[in-house]
């Protein structure tokens, strides 16, 4: 099954308005994640709102039949984007979606918001 990275492109960090930028932090993060994910063979998609506003910037790591995760509190910087893509690659390499903690990239530790079990078949 294919692991997807879903990126909230409407996420705004708390200081967004004070910085006076036109693009959302989610858009900026997506711009960084997408080429890294494409190079790793991991598909991405942008959505408007993952409803985790107090945790922005948010992404979801998902695959049919596997555990899915929402991660947040990222900054739109290359290191965070690279950690997201690295974790998604590890997720893709598992049968269940559960990546052992010792394998997590440092950049995703402390960023997990929710875990969702796979939907039942039928």
- Number of H-type helices and E-type strands within the chain: 3, 5
CATH-assigned architecture of domain 4-116: 3-Layer(aba) Sandwich (3.40)
Instruction: Pick the range with the lowest mean pLDDT from 11-20, 26-35, 37-46, 51-60.
Output: 11-20
Report whether 7 contacts 44 (CB < 8 A).
yes
Q: What is residue 46's predicted lDDT score, i.e. its pLDDT?
A: 98
**Nearest Cα to 44, choosing from 84, 83, 6?**
6
* Res 17 pLDDT > 80: no
- Residues 60-108 pLDDT 10s: 999 999 999 999 999 999 999 999 999 999 999 999 999 999 999 999 9
pTM: 0.94
C-alpha separations of 8 from 41, 51, 94, 103 in Å: 20, 9, 24, 25
pLDDT for 76 equals 94
């Amino acid at each position: 099954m294919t692991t997807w990275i879903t990126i909230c492109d409407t996420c705004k960090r708390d200081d967004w308005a004070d910085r006076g930028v036109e693009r959302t932090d989610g858009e900026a993060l997506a711009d960084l994640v997408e080429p890294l994910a494409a190079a790793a063979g991991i598909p991405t998609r942008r959505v408007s709102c993952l409803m985790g506003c107090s945790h922005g910037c948010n992404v979801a790591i998902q695959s049919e039949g596997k555990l899915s995760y929402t991660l947040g509190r990222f900054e739109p910087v290359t290191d965070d984007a690279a950690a997201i893509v690295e974790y998604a690659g590890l997720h893709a390499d598992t049968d269940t979606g559960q990546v052992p903690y010792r394998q997590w990239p440092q950049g995703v530790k402390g960023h997990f918001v929710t875990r969702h079990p796979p939907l039942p078949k039928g």
